[in-house]
Amino acid sequence: MWSLVLAIEQPSYQSQPRTDYSLIGLWGCDMRAGQLRNRIKVYRLEGGRSPTTGAMLPETLVLKHTLWASLEPLSVKDVLTAQAAGSETTMRCVLRYRTDIDSTMQIEHRGNTYQIDGDPLPDAVSGLEYMTLMLKSKKD
């Protein structure tokens, strides 16, 4: 029986220490798509006036985006810290950087609806690779 052994030289960048940022890869600030494994829907509450009568229309949720993201529940320590500060934040959502998502929108994931709590937080390195949304459960 023959066996073949290949010697593969490891590139020098793999010997560099990695950072603590969960979505930062070997090249600095690139995102690994495998970590964005949760499908979310982003809704905006929209209303307006009727074009014919000018009457106010009821506000409805309109689907704006369907995106890949990473959703993680906050640790007990983080939830208690948030409650002490007066926040109801329970989840963290990380997605690729976008300029069209703000705190007036809602996120739906697996039938659960969340309200975005505060402005989106940019990444720590460039501010243009990914953003973090702090979410609180929406009471219907």
Give the C-alpha separation, 115 to 58, whole Å.
19
Q: Does residue 72 surpass a pLDDT of 60?
A: yes
pTM of the predicted structure, to 2 decimals: 0.70
72 forms beta bridges with 92
Whether residue 32 lies inside any domain: the answer is no
Q: How far apart are CA 102 and CA 46, in angstroms?
A: 14
Is residue 66 within 8 Å of 41, Cβ to Cβ?
Answer: yes
Whether the pLDDT of residue 66 is over 90: the answer is yes
In this structure, is residue 5 part of a structural domain? no
Residue 22, in any domain of the structure: no
| Range scoring the smallest mean pLDDT among 17-31, 35-49, 61-75, 83-97 | 17-31
Task: Give yes or no for a contact between 94 and 132, defined as CB atoms under 8 angstroms apart.
Answer: yes
Confidence band of 140 (pLDDT split at 50, 70, 90): low
CA proximity to 59, closest of 72, 48, 71, 70: 48
Any domain includes 124: yes
CATH of the domain at 71: 2.40.10.270
Q: How many domains would you assign to the chain?
A: 1
- Give a yes or no: residue 74 inside a domain: yes
Strand spans (E) along the chain: 38-49, 56-73, 91-96, 105-109, 112-116, 121-122, 130-137
Q: Residue 102: helix, strand or coil by DSSP?
A: coil
- Among residues 42, 52, 53, 28, the alpha carbon closest in space to that of 103 is found at 42
Residue 128 lies in domain: 38-137
Structure tokens at 112: 């659960």
